[in-house]
């Protein structure tokens, strides 16, 4: 958690009591307390294993004895709550407090009982009861378990979380390293503050001492859920192995299925929860979410009412429904639910935080930022709120580029360099895509481009350490990383086109579309805008298709949630775009629009596909055939069989030669041999192999392309014409090859082929608009072709990038401005050139010419002024 310099409790008396306990607890409790009866210990084991009925029966029998150990009472209450027998739990708690009225552990548990029986006022009163008991009889509450309860109460009373974490929970666990309540409390505090790394650490440490504990495993799963799905699912599996009826783990599993759009599976898991506990409010909240997603308003209302049955003003119910809807990009509906939660309890910070996030993603920034500030003011340890407020200070310094349709926010230096290019791209995307899909967009669309990847992650996800995303669209708000943040070439124009396509389809469907279809259309539209953009089949994806690794269309959204490797995630994007391509090529764009319209009107995706395309089973079969045909067509004359790795060993030369004889034009072997030849600088032999490779597979792109080493070989062999031909082919198929574009500009400029220079300068700027060379080439090409406006813009931009020869840039700009008829600005640029290079002869000549033109203009203007009539007696006047 974020460090804070002060230590502060809200009540001095409570703080003094804590200090007394810190000194006494180590003396009083050198080791962990064990249950005083073996059968109670067995019952605790049964409770964790989910044998709730057995625990209830044994506890009731044991408590028939007035002298029964007090440990039986909380076991009975917890088991009754676990199965939804809330009224019985209240009766049992009354009896438990009669037996042990001084127990603060019982009174803390009584809060849960009160809430479960719709007595929130009584639950709040329990906190004050615990406070008063501890203040009056501090000598009674020295156990590590009591110290944990004291810490929980202190947090509710406003204590500093860092103090509670270190000086209460830390002390308790030091005294009793097997105190499960200590690890749970520590992990839950970190989760509440969105410090997931600290939460994971707490639960991991607890599991070292208490392996297999389902509550700790479930906590670990929650800590990992935001970024490490595979680890989270592994923890849930471990928890459910110990206790198949473990409600917190089942609820997380249902949550996972909802995220993956596996709604039938989610419903089954929710049924399991309700079978264990018919009154479990979260389970009914999830049912309401599922009903909302299928546009079943009656069931949604009914499920929400059931969720509120045990506690009619429980803010968590609406918070949970709203949170899940927001994760489905239903931000308007989500905000409505968060406002309902706050109507129940205006101090419920999770709802305030979620509402702030929803509003910011809806573009309602004034209220959103105010709410984020309010959350931070009330809880300055909430990591997400702290991150957002820090980001707000950064964004306050951003520049804004606007039109009627767009509000673009960027770091000021970047806005000055390529802000107009961003606006031009988005304007073109809007004109093309809104017409194609027949949608009228809400205006304006907000686009935020971040020069720091951590700022992008905070704005998008609330946390700074989430990578792997280039851009995200929320429907009306788009966030994107600046080209400056990328460690490898990335076509930012393609990224923004992709994200704006999301704006179109999400608004068309009112955010009611599965993830696979949303991503699939955006990737598809990239390639429609420019054939080099988007994703294309490559050898790896071809192999995955040929191995029948396609995901069924109905499960494609799940492929984005927990892919086996990053490559499989990318394959999910490609496959989704291929499904869209299949629908459009086979049935037409009108049928795709029909699917989107029906989604907007509340139909489920399968029904919309069946109505506008074909039934899912048939679609899966025909799409698989379509994908296989595309894969087989990829460089069909190449041999794609991979050689056995043993054949590549130094002592297997004869076997390799025999294999190669049977497999001429083998893609993999040609590349391996070419790499070796390049390393050995055998350029002529490498050229022959690589030329054959790109001849058979001309669409090669990316880091593994054969074009790069081929151009290197041609360059080394002095074949400039051949190098240029290969570069031209490469540049046409690869949208992220700035080294190819730059070399092609060099060669084309030498040949004075200015259209080719300009085209490749534009290509380079699609990847990196923050460096000088492409602007200089663009300025030269535009000047040569008479496009003075573009040339002026290029020289102006170049001057902002600290070029190596600023005097020449100022002079070239001055000449163009002079030609445009802007003498004052031309003079200023000429003087700036002379300031850099006082003896710059051409600049001196231009300054003289500008002065002469100014003098001539003034003389002509004076001559054009008519003389007033001469009065009698005045001397004669000359014009």
Q: What would the pLDDT profile of 572-590 be if each residue is shown by its tens digit?
A: 999 999 999 999 999 999 9
Residue holding tokens 């049955």?
A: 309
CA angle, residues 335, 338, 342, in degrees to nearest 5: 135
For residue 490, CA distances in Å to 35, 502, 577, 656, 677 come to 61, 19, 19, 38, 29
Torsion of CA 420, 423, 427, 429, to 10 degrees: 110
Any bridge partners for residue 420, and if so which? none
pLDDT at 24 over 90: no
- The predicted pLDDT at position 856 comes to 66
Residue holding tokens 């967009």?
A: 441
Torsion of CA 41, 234, 197, 465, to 10 degrees: -170
- The predicted pLDDT at position 653 comes to 83
Among the residue ranges 46-60, 453-467, 773-787, the one predicted with the least confidence is 453-467
Could you give the residue ranges of the DSSP H alpha helices within 478-615? 492-509, 515-529, 539-546, 556-561, 566-587, 589-600, 605-612
pLDDT at 814 over 80: yes
- The predicted pLDDT at position 34 comes to 39
Report cis status (omega within 30 of 0) of the bond before 95: no
At 141, list the tokens: 């509450």
d(CA 90, CA 76): 11
Q: How confident is the model at residue 469 (pLDDT cuts 50, 70, 90)?
A: confident
d(CA 506, CA 541): 28
Within 10 angstroms of residue 789's Cβ, the number of other Cβ atoms is 10
Strand, helix or coil for residue 409 = strand
Assess contact for 399 and 415: CB atoms under 8 A: yes
At 134, list the tokens: 């501890």
Any bridge partners for residue 410, and if so which? 399, 449
d(CA 730, CA 737): 8
Among the residue ranges 33-37, 204-208, 791-795, the one predicted with the least confidence is 33-37
Residue of 266, 248, 249 whose CA lies nearest to 257: 266
Residue 645 CB partners (closer than 8 Å, separation 6+): none
The mean per-residue pLDDT over the stretch 94-114 comes to 95
The mean per-residue pLDDT over the stretch 779-785 comes to 96
Tell me which of 875 and 117 has the higher pLDDT.
Answer: 117
Instruction: Please state the separation of Cα 840 from the chain's center in Å.
Output: 52
Assess contact for 262 and 285: CB atoms under 8 A: no
At 659, list the tokens: 């294999």
Q: How confident is the model at residue 31 (pLDDT cuts 50, 70, 90)?
A: very low
pLDDT at 878 over 60: no
d(CA 745, CA 779): 12
pLDDT at 678 over 60: yes
Q: How confident is the model at residue 265 (pLDDT cuts 50, 70, 90)?
A: very high
Q: How confident is the model at residue 758 (pLDDT cuts 50, 70, 90)?
A: very high
For residue 298, CA distances in Å to 287, 292, 310 come to 12, 9, 20
Assess contact for 71 and 109: CB atoms under 8 A: no
**In 111-233, which ranges are E strands?**
none
- The predicted pLDDT at position 579 comes to 97
pLDDT for 601-645, tens place per residue?
989 999 999 999 999 999 999 999 999 999 999 999 999 998 888
pLDDT for 365-384, tens place per residue?
999 999 999 999 888 888 88
Strand, helix or coil for residue 43 = helix
* Burial of 419 per CB tally in 10 Å (0-12, 13-18, 19+): buried
- The predicted pLDDT at position 20 comes to 43
Tell me which of 6 and 777 has the higher pLDDT.
Answer: 777
DSSP state of 639: B
Within 10 angstroms of residue 113's Cβ, the number of other Cβ atoms is 26
pLDDT at 713 over 70: yes
d(CA 259, CA 255): 6
Residue holding tokens 């419903």?
A: 267
For residue 760, CA distances in Å to 239, 698, 738, 784 come to 57, 19, 9, 15
Torsion of CA 5, 9, 10, 15, to 10 degrees: -150
d(CA 12, CA 313): 33
DSSP state of 864: T
3-state helix, strand, coil in the chain (%, to 5): 70, 5, 25
Residue 432's H or E segment, with its range, is: helix 412-437
- The predicted pLDDT at position 38 comes to 59
At 857, list the tokens: 């203009």
The proportion of the chain whose per-residue pLDDT surpasses 90, expressed as a percent, equals: 77
Q: How confident is the model at residue 871 (pLDDT cuts 50, 70, 90)?
A: low
d(CA 247, CA 377): 34
Within 10 angstroms of residue 869's Cβ, the number of other Cβ atoms is 6
At 12, list the tokens: 């001095």
Backbone angles phi, psi at 829, to 5 degrees: -70, -35
d(CA 653, CA 646): 10
Mean pLDDT score of the chain, rounded to an integer?
Answer: 90
d(CA 435, CA 220): 48
For residue 398, CA distances in Å to 22, 385, 444, 799 come to 49, 20, 18, 21
Backbone angles phi, psi at 131, to 5 degrees: -60, -45
Instruction: Please state the separation of Cα 233 from the chain's center in Å.
Output: 20
d(CA 716, CA 417): 36
Any bridge partners for residue 449, and if so which? 410, 480
Residue holding tokens 């009861």?
A: 129
The mean per-residue pLDDT over the stretch 246-261 comes to 95
CA angle, residues 237, 240, 246, in degrees to nearest 5: 140
Residue 49 CB partners (closer than 8 Å, separation 6+): 242, 243
Residue of 199, 240, 193 whose CA lies nearest to 50: 240
Assess contact for 542 and 634: CB atoms under 8 A: yes
- CA-based torsion, 604, 609, 614, 615: positive or negative: negative
Among the residue ranges 34-43, 117-126, 307-316, the one predicted with the least confidence is 34-43
d(CA 180, CA 164): 17
pLDDT at 359 over 90: yes
Residue holding tokens 């949970």?
A: 320
Could you give the residue ranges of the DSSP H alpha helices within 260-328? 263-276, 281-293, 297-307, 315-327
Report DSSP letters for 391-406, one per residue: HHHHHTT-EEEE-SSE
pLDDT for 418-434, tens place per residue?
999 999 999 999 999 99
Which pTM value belongs to this model? Answer: 0.85
CA angle, residues 517, 522, 527, in degrees to nearest 5: 125
pLDDT for 491-522, tens place per residue?
999 999 999 999 999 999 999 999 999 999 99
485: left (phi over 0), alpha (psi -120 to 50) or beta: alpha
d(CA 53, CA 245): 12
pLDDT for 643-673, tens place per residue?
888 888 888 888 888 888 888 899 999 988 9
pLDDT at 36 over 60: no
Residue of 477, 532, 470 whose CA lies nearest to 502: 477
- The predicted pLDDT at position 649 comes to 84
- The predicted pLDDT at position 29 comes to 36
């Amino acid at each position: 958690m974020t460090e804070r310099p002060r230590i502060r409790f809200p009540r001095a008396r409570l703080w003094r009591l804590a200090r007394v306990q810190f000194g006494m607890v180590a003396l009083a409790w050198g080791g962990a307390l064990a249950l005083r009866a073996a059968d109670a210990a067995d019952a605790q084991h049964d409770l964790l294993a989910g044998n709730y009925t057995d625990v209830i029966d044994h506890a009731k029998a044991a408590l028939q004895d007035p002298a029964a150990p007090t440990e039986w009472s909380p076991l009975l209450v917890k088991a009754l709550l676990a199965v939804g027998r809330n009224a019985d739990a209240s009766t049992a708690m009354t009896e438990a407090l009669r037996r042990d009225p001084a127990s603060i552990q019982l009174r803390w548990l009584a809060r849960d009982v009160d809430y479960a029986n719709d007595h929130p006022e009584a639950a709040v009163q329990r906190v004050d009861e615990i406070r008063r008991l501890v203040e009056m009889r501090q000598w009674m509450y020295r156990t590590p378990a009591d110290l944990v309860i004291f810490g929980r109460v202190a947090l509710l009373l406003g204590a500093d979380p860092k103090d509670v974490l270190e000086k209460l929970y830390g002390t308790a666990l030091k005294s009793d390293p097997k105190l499960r309540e200590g690890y749970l409390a520590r992990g839950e505090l970190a989760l509440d503050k969105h410090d997931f790394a600290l939460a994971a650490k707490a639960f991991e440490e607890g599991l070292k001492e208490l392996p297999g504990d389902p509550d700790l495993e479930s906590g670990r799963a929650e800590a990992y859920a935001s970024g490490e799905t595979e680890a989270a699912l592994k923890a849930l599996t471990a928890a459910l192995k110990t206790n198949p009826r473990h409600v917190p783990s089942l609820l997380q599993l249902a949550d996972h299925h909802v995220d993956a759009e596996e709604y039938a599976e989610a419903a089954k898991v929710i049924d399991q929860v309700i079978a264990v506990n018919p009154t479990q409010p979260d389970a009914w909240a999830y049912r309401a979410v599922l009903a909302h997603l299928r546009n079943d308003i009656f069931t949604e209302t009914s499920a929400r009412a059931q969720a509120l049955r045990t506690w009619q003003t429980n803010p968590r119910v609406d918070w949970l429904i709203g949170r899940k809807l927001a994760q489905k990009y239903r931000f308007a509906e989500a905000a409505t639910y968060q406002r309902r939660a706050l109507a129940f309890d205006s101090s419920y910070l999770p709802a305030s935080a979620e509402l702030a996030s929803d509003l910011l993603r809806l573009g309602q920034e004034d209220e959103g930022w105010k709410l984020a500030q309010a959350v931070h003011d009330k809880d300055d340890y909430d990591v997400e709120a702290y991150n957002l407020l820090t980001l707000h200070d950064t964004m306050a310094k951003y520049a804004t580029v606007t039109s009627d349709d767009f509000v673009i926010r960027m770091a000021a230096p970047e806005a000055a360099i390529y802000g107009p290019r961003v606006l031009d791209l988005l304007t073109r995307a809007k004109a093309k895509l809104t017409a194609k899909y027949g949608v009228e967009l809400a205006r304006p669309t907000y686009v935020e481009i971040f020069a720091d990847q951590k700022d992008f992650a905070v704005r998008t996800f609330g946390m700074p350490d989430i990578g792997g995303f280039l851009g995200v669209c929320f429907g009306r708000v788009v966030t994107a990383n600046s080209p400056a943040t990328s460690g490898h070439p990335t076509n930012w124009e393609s990224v923004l086109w992709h994200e704006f396509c999301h704006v179109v389809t999400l608004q068309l469907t009112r955010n009611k579309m599965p993830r696979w279809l949303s991503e699939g259309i955006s990737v598809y539209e990239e390639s429609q805008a420019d054939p080099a953009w988007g994703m294309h089949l490559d050898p790896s994806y071809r192999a995955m298709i040929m191995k029948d690794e396609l995901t069924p269309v109905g499960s494609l959204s799940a492929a984005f949630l927990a892919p086996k490797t990053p490559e499989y995630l990318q394959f999910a994007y490609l496959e989704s775009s291929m499904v869209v391509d299949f629908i459009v090529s086979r049935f037409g764009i009108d049928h795709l629009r029909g699917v989107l319209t029906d989604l907007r009107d509340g139909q489920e995706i399968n029904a919309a596909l069946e109505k506008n395309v074909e039934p899912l089973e048939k679609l899966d079969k025909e799409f698989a055939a379509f994908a296989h045909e595309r894969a087989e067509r990829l460089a069909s004359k190449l041999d794609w069989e991979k050689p056995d790795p043993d054949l590549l060993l130094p002592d297997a030369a004869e076997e390799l030669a025999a294999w190669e004889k049977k497999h001429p034009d083998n893609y993999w072997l040609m590349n391996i041999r070419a790499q070796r030849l390049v390393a050995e600088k055998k350029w002529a032999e490498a050229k022959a192999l690589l030329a054959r490779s790109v001849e058979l597979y001309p669409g090669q792109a990316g880091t593994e392309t054969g074009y790069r080493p081929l151009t290197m070989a041609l360059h080394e062999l002095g074949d400039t014409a051949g190098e240029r031909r290969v570069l031209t082919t490469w540049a046409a198929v690869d949208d992220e090859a700035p080294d190819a574009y730059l070399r092609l500009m060099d060669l084309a400029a030498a040949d004075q082929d200015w259209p080719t220079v300009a085209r490749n300068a534009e290509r380079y700027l699609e990847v990196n608009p923050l460096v000088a060379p492409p602007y200089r080439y663009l300025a030269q090409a535009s000047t040569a072709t008479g496009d003075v406006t573009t040339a002026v813009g290029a020289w102006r931009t170049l001057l902002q990038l600290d070029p190596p020869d600023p005097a020449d840039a100022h002079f070239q700009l001055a000449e163009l401005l002079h030609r445009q008829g802007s003498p004052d600005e031309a003079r200023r640029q000429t003087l700036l050139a002379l300031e850099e290079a006082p003896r710059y002869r051409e600049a001196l000549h231009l300054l003289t010419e500008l002065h002469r033109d100014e003098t001539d203009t003034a003389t002509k203007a004076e001559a054009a002024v008519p003389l007033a009539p001469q009065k009698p007696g005045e001397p004669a006047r000359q014009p």
